[in-house]
Structure 1
Amino acid sequence: MAEDAKPLLIKRYASRRLYNTETSDYVTLEDIAAFIRDGREVQIIDLKSGDDLTRQYLLQIVSDHESRGESVLPVDLLTDLVRSYTTQAQSVVPQFLAASFQILREGQSKLMENLTAFPNPMAKMPGFEALQRQQQAFMKTMMGGWAASQDDNEAASDTATAKPAGREDLDAIKKQLAELQAKLSKL
């Protein structure tokens, strides 16, 4: 756990290759993105100059995902970001964005706590555990790995082993959900 508290040090060589100092091998931007999605902090430094290049590479990762059609950032937000570099608002924008993402992470954390909190009167109902797993998988997908605490990481690892739902699974889940709703209505 103490090892996870330290950022993973990635060194950039003059050849622009990225070297993972923890595993002593070369990594790609996708590898770095995977480390971050897994909850690791990373620091990328230039080996020769010692400059911190983390921001530059994180922006490159975001840009790559956005250009592949994995759009997360609305055009209006991107436009406002560009504007913030040329206005007095630039001092407020970073704090606002950081606070917004912190609120989002805390909301996810509270939702996951509520999903796993016991005693839960619905926990005794048949099919509740399957419904709970589906909700956790949905939240993991929606949040894109923005886990902020160890509890979130544990919940995410539980859902990571679940198989993607096929058409039959989806129909079964819909049926279970309808049955649960009918039972709740009777209560």
Structure 2
Amino acid sequence: MHSKKANAAPKPALRVIKKYPNRRLYDTDTSSYITLSEVKQLVMDQEPFVVRDAKSNEDLTRSILLQIILEEEAGGAPMFSEAALANLIRFYGHAAQGFMGSYLEKNVQAFTDIQAKLAEQSKTLTPEMWAQFMNMQNPLMQGMMGNYVEQSKHMFEQMQEQMARQTEQMLGAFGIKR
């Protein structure tokens, strides 16, 4: 007897969620309506998905992700201070807007990688080993944080160099040389 999975068609690589005008979200994978918290769980489970407008087929994934962030920020302990949010807003329309997005994305990814490495290493730790780990300067941790800081510094320097090149090009276009 064949299992149900053997007869089932392979799942598409990208889960499609349709957003209807009544703001309801329909998961085409499960053929059911889902909530925003269930979409958040897809993110947490690293499930690849796209949210599309049911009528126009426009990609709404970013706006749904921003909506999840807004709900998370409104409840519990927010991740961003008012000052951090104000600084992010100031980058919109600024020459460095594209760089800032890339810079933040790379830094968040580097932080996520460090967190994953620590989680992997902590699986083998006993409570006693964990206590020792917490009570001493761990060279591995220093190395990982050092790599993160160095990577962040390098990305910032690249961003500054690229901005300087663009400024020179812009000034050159106006016939101004430094």
The alpha-carbon distance between structure 1 residues 57 and 103, as it changes in their structure 2 partners (threshold 3 A), is same
For residue 80 of structure 1, the aligned residue among 83, 87, 90 is 87
**Superposed displacement of residue 70, structure 1:** 3.1
**Superposed displacement of residue 99, structure 1:** 0.4
Same amino acid, percent of matched pairs? 32
Q: Does 1:95 align with 2:95?
A: no
**Superposed displacement of residue 74, structure 1:** 2.4
Rg comparison, structure with higher value: 2
Task: Tell me the C-alpha RMSD between the 2 structures.
Answer: 2.5
* CA deviation string 1:164-185 (max 9, x = no partner): xxxxxxxxxxxxxxxxxxxxxx
Q: Distance in 2 between matches of 1:75 and 1:94?
A: 18
Q: TM-score, normalised by structure 2?
A: 0.61
Q: Does 1:110 align with 2:117?
A: yes
Q: Which letter does structure 2 place at the counterpart of 1:26?
A: Y
The alpha-carbon distance between structure 1 residues 69 and 116, as it changes in their structure 2 partners (threshold 3 A), is closer
Q: Which residue of 1 aligns with 2:58?
A: 51
Q: TM-score, normalised by structure 1?
A: 0.58
For residue 74 of structure 2, the aligned residue among 41, 44, 67 is 67
* CA deviation string 1:51-93 (max 9, x = no partner): 0000011111111111123301222221111001131111111
SS in 2 for 1:92: helix
Q: Does 1:42 align with 2:49?
A: yes
**Superposed displacement of residue 128, structure 1:** 4.4
Give 4+ residue runs of structure 1 displaced > 4 Å after superposition. Answer: none
SS in 1 for 2:30: coil
**Superposed displacement of residue 41, structure 1:** 2.5
Q: Which residue of 2 aligns with 1:32?
A: 39
Mind listing any 5+ residue stretches in structure 1 that lack a counterpart?
136-187
SS in 1 for 2:121: helix
The alpha-carbon distance between structure 1 residues 87 and 41, as it changes in their structure 2 partners (threshold 3 A), is same
Q: Which letter does structure 1 place at the counterpart of 2:98?
A: S
* CA deviation string 1:147-168 (max 9, x = no partner): xxxxxxxxxxxxxxxxxxxxxx
Q: Number of residue pairs matched?
A: 123
Higher relative contact order (CA 8 A, sep 6+): 1
